[in-house]
């Protein structure tokens, strides 16, 4: 597999599919996946979110895509940093190309503007033994959808900028941002990880969390290499896995 190939040099453009992540997984299972390939769709009948949730999106309104990466040469411990790299890419797309302010990452995989979610990522890994063979990075970004019946606290580019956006243009910007961030990850994974941590909601500021029904205030000091959130409260740093705690937004 040629890893010099850039992300998005080849794009499979589907009108409708169950899930672009599933389609990418099928290519891998059939032995016909290639590094950097993007699978995108106008509509998903079974879009997948984190933790078994569904990801719904109106037909042709948003960016729904999955990137296949050849990860054979990476240590398994880099899984979370690679995930962080793509969160940064989505955040930088919004800040640099659309000049949106107040873009933050909600640990572990959500991209927010203010206190509203605009994008979510779902990374699925393919391991053979102890070799990390592939990563499928699924990305959903709300572009032109303005009504979100199932979810509140959601926004889109159109809602933020008061103007219909070109999906094609946002896809090009995203490809550019992914290539820039992936190149930075290859050169300096620590740098990418630091950037991710500093973008987190609650980084170096007090915010509220809920654990087993109990609310407490803490500040985010960072994330461990394996992706646990490190919170400072009661004078010491404690680590939490996803779903152990919930961030409370205003
Ligand atoms: C989340 O926030 O829960 C993650 C959402 C990830 C959605 C994207 S849309 C393209 C790709 N295909 C899927 O089935 N899911 C991801």
Q: How does residue 3 score in pLDDT terms, banded at 50, 70 and 90? A: low
Question: Of 80-84, 118-122, 171-175, 238-242, which range is least confident?
Answer: 238-242
CA of 49 from ligand 1 middle (Å) equals: 5
Q: How does residue 2 score in pLDDT terms, banded at 50, 70 and 90? A: low
181: Cβ below 6 Å to ligand 1? no
Domains of the chain are 11-198 (3.30.930.10), 206-248 (2.30.30)
Taking CA atoms, 174 is separated from 65, 131, 232, in Å, by 10, 28, 34
Our mutation pick for probing the ligand 1 site, out of 140, 167, 242, counting the most ligand atoms within 8 A of Cβ, is: 140
């Amino acid at each position: 597999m040629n890893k010099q190939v850039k992300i998005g040099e080849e794009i499979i453009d589907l009108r409708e599919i169950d899930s672009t992540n599933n389609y990418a997984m099928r290519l891998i299972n059939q032995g016909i996946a290639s590094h950097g390939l993007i699978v995108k769709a106008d509509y998903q009948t079974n879009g997948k979110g984190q933790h078994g949730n569904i990801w719904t999106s109106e037909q042709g309104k948003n960016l729904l895509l999955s990137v296949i990466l050849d990860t054979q040469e990476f240590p398994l411990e880099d899984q979370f940093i690679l995930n962080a790299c793509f969160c940064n890419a989505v955040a930088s797309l919004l800040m640099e190309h659309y000049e949106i302010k107040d873009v933050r990452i909600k640990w572990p995989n959500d991209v927010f503007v203010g206190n509203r979610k605009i994008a979510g990522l779902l990374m699925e890994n393919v391991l053979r033994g102890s070799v990390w063979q592939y990563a499928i990075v699924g990305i959903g970004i709300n572009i032109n959808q303005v009504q979100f019946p199932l979810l509140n606290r959601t926004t889109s580019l159109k809602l933020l900028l008061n103007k219909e956006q070109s999906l094609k243009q946002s896809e090009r910007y995203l490809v550019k941002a992914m290539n820039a961030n992936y190149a930075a990850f290859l050169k300096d994974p620590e740098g990418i990880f630091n950037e991710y941590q500093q973008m987190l909601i609650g980084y170096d500021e007090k915010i509220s969390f809920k654990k087993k029904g109990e609310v407490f205030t803490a500040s985010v000091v960072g994330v461990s290499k394996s992706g646990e959130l490190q919170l400072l409260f009661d004078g010491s740093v404690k680590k939490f896995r996803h779903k152990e705690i919930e961030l409370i937004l205003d």
